[in-house]
Amino acid sequence: MNWARKDLLGLEELSKEEIELILTTAESFKEVSSREIKKVPALRGKTVVNLFYEPSTRTRVSFEVAAKRLSADVINIATETSSVKKGETLIDTGKNIEALKADIIVIRHNYSGAAAMLARHVNLNVVNAGDGWHEHPTQALLDIFTLKEKLGRIEGLNVSIVGDIAHSRVARSNIWGLTKLGAKVTVCAPKILIPLGIEKMGARVTVDIDEALEKADAVNVLRMQFERDQNDAFPNQLEYFKQFGITQERLAKVKKDIIVMHPGPINRGIEIASEVADGRHSVILEQVTNGIAVRMAVLFLVAQANEPSL
Ligand code: CP
């Protein structure tokens, strides 16, 4: 199949075939990063703008590396030091980036729907690098890519997502992507951190961590987003670790080759024990490496959507 979308806004709207196309394109790009000269000319002459309204280490750097490996020019806009601080709207910022003849905007924003709104107002390609609690599609794609690389398939896998589901765009994108590819997804958290209606997305819900881990081929551990706890309603950190933390003791009771993932940044000793984060089950840094190939694939595919058909 050919890619036809101008933008990548979320996995909810993608078909199974579109997700598979991104994954196979990423497989072909992965080898570029092991070359002596880590570059291909696929996006030569294109300009990618990273427009980040929220802090980021992995996603921003990964998109920059991915764009540079495709030979694109890259401009990073940190909104803290931009005219956003003077009150410029997102749409005006987007239109000005368009007037500066950029080709692709990669946007991270604290409001759900911000990437989609921008995409409606500019002709540039827009890639969602995380919008509010809504979606973080490239994170889920790199999680799925890593799982497939490790276990050879997605269909039929049991994947548990443990942690702050309520505030997690990573959880939402993972549920959409994994279920479309035939995995069985369980979410596990204290009741207050499980959003109403999450079962309608196709996920099973449990508040029992041992039950969530029992049959899991992989567990994706999410950060507790304490900065979003406006009502002071979260369990305290020690209590959370005791009841839901991913520890060696818990992993000793489950499938011996269970894969442990985490999108980062990690809160060691809160949602995951240090020895698990650094231990033999962990693929956390492999996820980061795979993010480059996945983001190369996404940038490459959305840019093709602008090319006239032959
Ligand atoms: N996983 C993730 O989105 O990390 P950053 O916030 O560092 O980009």
What's the gap in Å between 170 CA and the centre of ligand 1? 10
User: Could you tell me the distance, in angstroms and rounded to a whole number, from the CA of residue 54 to the centre of ligand 1?
Assistant: 10
Pocket test for ligand 1, best of 59, 136, 283 (most atoms within 8 A of CB): 59
Q: What separation in Å is there between the alpha carbon of 266 and the centre of ligand 1?
A: 10
The answer to whether domain 16-136+290-305 and domain 137-287 are alike in fold is: yes
Q: Which CATH superfamily is domain 16-136+290-305 in?
A: Aspartate/ornithine carbamoyltransferase (3.40.50.1370)
Type of residue found at 26: A
pLDDT for 79 equals: 86
Give the whole-angstrom CA distance, residue 302 versus residue 64: 16
* Rounded Cα gap, residues 71 and 65, in angstroms: 10
How do the pLDDT tens digits run along the chain, 310 residues long? 889 999 999 999 999 999 999 999 999 999 999 999 999 999 999 999 999 999 999 999 999 999 999 999 999 998 888 888 899 999 999 999 999 999 999 999 999 999 999 999 999 999 999 999 999 999 999 999 999 999 999 999 999 999 999 999 999 999 999 999 999 999 999 998 999 999 999 999 999 999 999 999 999 999 987 766 666 667 788 899 999 999 999 999 999 999 999 999 999 999 999 999 999 999 999 999 999 999 999 999 999 997 765 5
Predicted pLDDT of residue 236:
84
pLDDT, position 232: 67
Please give the Cα distance from 134 to 132 (Å, whole number).
5
| Residue 237: predicted pLDDT | 86
User: Degrees (nearest 5) of the Cα angle 297, 18, 182?
Assistant: 115
pLDDT of residue 245: 96
In this prediction, residue 230 carries a pLDDT of 66
pLDDT for 83: 87
Cα 1 to ligand 1 centroid, rounded to whole Å: 30
Specify the pLDDT at position 78. 86
- What tokens were used for 302? 């959305």
Tell me, what's the pLDDT at 309? Answer: 59
Closest CA to 151 of 97, 53, 218: 218
CATH superfamily of 137-287: Aspartate/ornithine carbamoyltransferase (3.40.50.1370)
Site residues for ligand 1, CB cut-off 6 Å: 56-59, 130, 139, 263-265
Boundaries of every domain in the chain: 16-136+290-305, 137-287
